[in-house]
Amino acid sequence: MILTVTLNTALDITYRVRSLRPHASHRVSEVTERPGGKGVNVARVLAALGHEVTGFTGGATGRVVQEKLAAVPGVVDALVPVSGATRRTVAVVDDRSGDTTQLNEPGPTITPSEWSAFLAAYDDLLPAASAVALCGSLPPGVPVGAYAGMVRTARSAGIPVLLDTSGEPLRRGVAARPDIIKPNADELAELTGSHDPLRATQDARRRGAGAVVASLGPEGLLALTRDGRWRATPPTPVRGNPTGAGDAAVAGLLSGLVEHLPWPTRLTRATALAAATVRAPVAGEFDRGVYEEMLTRVTVSGEVSAA
Amino acid sequence: MILTVTLNTALDITYRVRSLRPHASHRVSEVTERPGGKGVNVARVLAALGHEVTGFTGGATGRVVQEKLAAVPGVVDALVPVSGATRRTVAVVDDRSGDTTQLNEPGPTITPSEWSAFLAAYDDLLPAASAVALCGSLPPGVPVGAYAGMVRTARSAGIPVLLDTSGEPLRRGVAARPDIIKPNADELAELTGSHDPLRATQDARRRGAGAVVASLGPEGLLALTRDGRWRATPPTPVRGNPTGAGDAAVAGLLSGLVEHLPWPTRLTRATALAAATVRAPVAGEFDRGVYEEMLTRVTVSGEVSAA
């Protein structure tokens, strides 16, 4: 069982409009809703394996998130209820340009007792987990060192842990020595101060990350681990909606970790899943045909460490 | 008791963002939610009087609408539950310009049995009503002649009825001879084919409306009734957020009707309430101080019919 943690779960709402014009009134032609938050997205991609999701939920939106999550086969919900309303995200898709305008609510304020209840649930779930993913932003009220503490708990229990967040929670979390981090280019530059991906991944490892897998958008992944350094590249730059591509890559890395696959195979899988997500018609889903095709077409180049 | 009908209730969500840019991602700094839909807005303004609201509700959003409505003093909720989710509207307020971008969901599809249940509830509530307001758009599944039938039922019961809708539901509803309609300039032009407000109000009366009160935005109201013709004008054009101003005017007209006030006094009240809504900091609320000041400053000019 893989445990994916989503502290700031969301109800992801997508609106289709003919053409978005600021300061005008728009009739929404189509509404879709799905449970969201990075860890939930990771869990959905991992659903072919048996695994469990834990995170916060709350208020009226939280009930909807839980009901919708219950309908996803293979995902077991261990969400911890809170009194505030779970945040919504609204993506407005412009039919003419295909572009998306995103509006993200901040999330409810978590009380100290709710945070304690969450940590107790985390401790209970950890022993049964083969790996843990800590994903996304922290809702208001959760201490900025939350992920650092959760990384240490997982490591004490001997469970590999992947951290996918940004800003100060990432900086503190890295110092707690997670097994893998998966920053994008902006998050990596913010962490290290360097815009050179190779130099920045080296710096992030020195800060405490066991392996750094940087997602470089359409150019694929750059990985620096104790075993070596690799670059995984899709055959052509992939066009489409990048929502959820990073989460799909996390699912690829995690499943490869628990299956004890060598790094190049993990990176091929992660890159193929990300590309198949960008190409899927529904944001955050992946296209299985594209995934299987990409598995044979992603190239991995690099070198194994001499050490 | 005044009965206000809202067939397409809504959860009105307002997002504050620093500056809305299409195709970018935005962090929402403030979220406010209130129960909405035109008849609900009218009911809230009328809450100083005792009155009852009826309309549809449904799904997860509907529960939120009902909970929030229960917190409004003076408003008695007689909402009829439906299986679909109540629609949301999202207003995105741009902090820099103060302008609002509006996104409106269409609303749930109403089944024939839900529509029958609503009509039964309407028939039950009518005998206790001193006046009825039929407000807003029809959700999918409700027959386009719905308001026409509800106007006839009210008239048969001897209860005065105000109709505030647009398009084909307005066209059919007018033919059923409602006591008052309150179109804005666009709705009036669509009904009559004329962009000349005076000519269009005359035409709308010929089509069956007992009185036509056209809202002309910052220029106030133009009324044509069997008693005469009046124009009510605020002292200066009112600047601010026009959301809910038309609904506040409906509340002014309705309360004046049940208090048997003469038309010029009703129009003064309606114009003052609309101006006080435009000037209020929260969309759809009215500023009581501005209202009381406007009552002394709105001018009404016109003539009483010779007939």
What are the residues whose beta carbons fall under 8 Å from the beta carbon of B183, sequence distance 6 or more? Answer: B164, B166, B170, B191, B204, B212, B214, B215
Name the one residue in this structure whose structure tokens are 């917190």. B71
Q: Nearest C-alpha of chain A: how many angstroms from B152?
A: 30
Do the Cβ atoms of A102 and B28 come within 8 Å?
no
pLDDT band at residue B185 using 50, 70 and 90 as cut-offs: very high
Residue at A73: amino acid letter: P
Exposure string for B126-146, b = 16+ CB within 10 A, e = fewer? beebebbbbbbbbbeebeebb
Closest partner CB to A106 (pick from B21, B28, B100): B28
| C-alpha A250 chain-centroid distance | 6
B96 touches chain A (CB under 8 A): no
* CB contacts, 8 Å: B102 with chain A: 24-26
> In the prediction, which pLDDT does A35 show?
86
- Give the helix/strand (H/E) hosting B225: none
DSSP string, B270-301: HHHHHHHHHTSSSTT---HHHHHHHHHH-EEE
Distance CA(A114)–CA(A83), nearest Å, equals 9
Do the Cβ atoms of A90 and B90 come within 8 Å?
yes
Determine how many CB atoms are found less than 10 A away from the CB of residue A41.
30
Q: Nearest C-alpha of chain A: how many angstroms from B63?
A: 8
Tell me what the mean pLDDT of segment B119-135 comes to.
92
Q: In which residue ranges of chain A is pLDDT below 70?
A: 48-51, 58, 283-284, 306-307
Characterize the bridge pairing of strands A30-36 and A10-17.
antiparallel
Q: Nearest C-alpha of chain B: how many angstroms from A103?
A: 5
* CB contacts, 8 Å: A102 with chain B: 24-26
**Residue A99 burial (CB < 10 Å; 0-12/13-18/19+)?**
middle
> In the prediction, which pLDDT does A17 show?
86
**Cα atoms in the 13 Å half-sphere on the side-chain side of A289:** 3
Residue B55 clears pLDDT 80, i.e. is over it: no
> In the prediction, which pLDDT does B235 show?
92
Closest partner CB to B28 (pick from A15, A64, A105): A105
B22 touches chain A (CB under 8 A): yes
Round the average pLDDT of chain B to a whole number and report it. Answer: 89
- Give the helix/strand (H/E) hosting A1: none
Do the Cβ atoms of B27 and A104 come within 8 Å?
yes
Do the Cβ atoms of A27 and B100 come within 8 Å?
no
Task: Mark which residues 253-282 of B lie under 8 Å from A by CB.
Answer: none
pLDDT in tens, B56-99: 776 777 788 888 888 877 788 888 888 888 888 888 887 777 77
DSSP string, B147-208: HHHHHHHHHHTT--EEEE--HHHHHHHHHT--SEE--BHHHHHHHHS---HHHHHHHHHHTT
Residue B192 clears pLDDT 90, i.e. is over it: yes
Distance CA(B80)–CA(B57), nearest Å, equals 6
B66 touches chain A (CB under 8 A): no
Read off the tokens for B23.
């195709």
Backbone angles phi, psi at B103, to 5 degrees: -125, 120
Distance CA(B20)–CA(B92), nearest Å, equals 8
Pick the residue from chain A with its C-alpha nearest to B62. A60
* CB contacts, 8 Å: B101 with chain A: 20-26
Best residue of A92, A95, A101 to probe chain B, by most B CBs closer than 10 Å: A101
Distance CA(B214)–CA(B282), nearest Å, equals 25
Distance CA(A263)–CA(A302), nearest Å, equals 11
Read off the tokens for A96.
């003419």
> In the prediction, which pLDDT does B294 show?
95
CB-CB contact of A257 with A178 (8 Å): no
What are the residues whose beta carbons fall under 8 Å from the beta carbon of B196, sequence distance 6 or more? Answer: none
* CB contacts, 8 Å: B63 with chain A: 60
Q: For A247, which DSSP code?
A: H
User: Could you give the domains of chain B?
Assistant: 2-14+37-86+110-304 (3.40.1190.20)
Closest among A148, A200, A258, A140 to B27, alpha carbons compared? A140
Do the Cβ atoms of B102 and A63 come within 8 Å?
no
Backbone angles phi, psi at A121, to 5 degrees: -65, -40
Determine how many CB atoms are found less than 10 A away from the CB of residue B67.
12
A96 touches chain B (CB under 8 A): no
DSSP string, A45-91: HGGGS-EEEEEEEEHHHHHHHHHHHHTSTTEEE-PEEESSPPEEEEE
Read off the tokens for B28.
């929402």
Distance CA(B134)–CA(B179), nearest Å, equals 11
Characterize the bridge pairing of strands B131-135 and B2-6.
parallel
Read off the tokens for A161.
């842990």
CB-CB contact of B187 with B166 (8 Å): yes
> In the prediction, which pLDDT does B26 show?
87
> In the prediction, which pLDDT does A223 show?
97
